[in-house]
């Protein structure tokens, strides 16, 4: 399965804009996002459709289909949750 090319990234443009708006992530190449120095999210194209690989747990990539609006919302919600959990772990507990 190859990384998403320019035509696929154009198809994903609205989703990519929403991911960019989340903050916390650095887009090193179009459609390839890092969290700090670690790869976090990227996209693939395949005859079966478009897919996103994301390290929700910070260790292992999980694959999400992203062909439909509902699938893209599921990915975005999962990414938002993962980023919120990571931010909460970095914040010190109040005294």
CA triple 5-35-89, angle to 5 deg? 150
Do 54 and 66 contact (CB within 8 A), yes or no?
no
Q: Calculate the CA 90 to chain-centre distance.
A: 20
pLDDT at 58: 87
Hey, what are 22's tokens? 């989340």
pTM: 0.88
Residues in the chain: 95
**pLDDT mean for each 10 residues of the chain (95 residues):** 92 96 93 94 95 94 96 97 83 54
Please report, for the chain, the start and end positions of each structural domain, with discontinuous segments joined by +: 2-89
């Amino acid at each position: 399965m190859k990384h998403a090319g320019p035509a696929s990234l154009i198809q994903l443009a609205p989703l990519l804009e929403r991911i960019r708006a989340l903050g916390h992530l650095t887009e090193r190449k179009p459609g390839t996002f890092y969290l700090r120095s670690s790869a976090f999210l990227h996209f693939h194209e395949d005859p079966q459709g478009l897919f996103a690989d994301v390290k929700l747990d910070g260790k292992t990539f999980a694959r999400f289909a992203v062909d439909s609006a509902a699938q893209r919302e599921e990915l975005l919600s999962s990414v938002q949750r993962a980023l919120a959990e990571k931010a909460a772990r970095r914040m010190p507990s109040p005294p």
